[in-house]
């Protein structure tokens, strides 16, 4: 992998590596944390409403007309679901944008197994995206570590335990999607999503901090290159 460093095929557009993507990453994490909070609040609200609705639906099955309370809770549930979808959509879009730019940033130093457009494409595929992200994260962290080792710098330990945990939880979550929605399974589904989101936050934080260090290396390289250029010009002018 180290032989790939500074390969002629590596992208070298300076605009691809900017501090802005570090900010994008932290914003994406903020929205993922927001999702966790929304899931917890929604779970409590729907559990309370579910007990009330169960009695109303039972009355309907016995021939009673729909009550105003049933209609009210039904409309409220729809509104809550629609409002809850907003942070999910924002978090997903911000995550995809950050991940795409993280791939581009790393390509300033090494090759990567996934293209910036490819990581976005895979995440738009239901179910498959959850599994592919494990390989995207792993490849990105390993490439970042390779860059630090090549520069003889101390590298952060790769969080393999968090990576494996997200893969296992993703598989369990996919299996859980096809299981009937009884309370224990629904509770397990909520728990898995919260743990998976926490794992993403852990892995993303490492990638973002590595990216910040890589940006510093980029700036250092550009400054050294500029100094060398100035020194060469001065040396040439003295000879003439």
pLDDT at res. 94: 97
User: What residues of the chain score a pLDDT lower than 50?
Assistant: 1-17
Tokens at 53, concatenated:
């609705």
pLDDT at res. 2: 44
pLDDT at res. 208: 95
- Apex CA 50: angle with CA 196 and CA 59, to 5°? 155
* HEC assignment per residue over 168-199: HHHHHHHHHHCCCCCHHHHHHHHHHHHHHHHH
* Location of structure tokens 């060469």: 232
pLDDT at res. 18: 52
d(CA 30, CA 24): 10
- Apex CA 167: angle with CA 161 and CA 171, to 5°? 145
pLDDT at res. 48: 72
Note whether 123 and 95 are within 8 A (CB).
Answer: yes
d(CA 92, CA 88): 6
Tokens at 136, concatenated:
């995207």
DSSP 158: P
d(CA 160, CA 181): 32
pLDDT at res. 123: 95
Q: How far apart are the first and last CA of the chain?
A: 44
pLDDT at res. 42: 83
């Amino acid at each position: 992998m180290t032989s790939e460093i500074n390969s002629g095929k590596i992208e070298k557009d300076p605009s691809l590596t900017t501090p802005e993507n570090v900010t994008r990453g932290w914003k994406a994490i903020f929205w993922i944390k927001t999702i966790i909070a929304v899931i917890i609040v929604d779970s409590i609200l729907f559990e309370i409403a579910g007990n009330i609705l169960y009695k109303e639906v039972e009355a309907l099955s016995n021939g009673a007309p729909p009550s105003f309370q049933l209609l009210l809770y039904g409309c409220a549930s729809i509104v809550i679901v629609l409002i809850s979808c907003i942070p999910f959509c924002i978090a997903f879009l911000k995550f995809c944008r950050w991940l795409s730019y993280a791939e581009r940033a790393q390509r300033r130093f090494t090759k990567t197994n996934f293209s910036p457009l490819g990581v976005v494409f895979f995440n738009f595929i239901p179910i498959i995206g959850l599994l592919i992200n494990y390989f995207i994260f792993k490849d990105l962290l390993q490439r970042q570590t390779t860059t630090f080792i090549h520069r003889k710098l101390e590298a952060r330990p790769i969080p393999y335990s968090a990576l494996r945990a997200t893969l296992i939880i993703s598989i369990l979550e996919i299996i859980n999607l096809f299981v009937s929605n009884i309370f224990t399974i629904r509770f397990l589904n909520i728990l898995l999503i919260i743990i998976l989101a926490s794992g993403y936050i852990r892995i993303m934080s490492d990638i973002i901090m590595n990216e910040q260090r890589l940006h510093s290396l980029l700036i250092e390289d550009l400054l050294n290159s500029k100094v060398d250029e100035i020194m060469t010009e001065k040396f040439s002018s003295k000879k003439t």
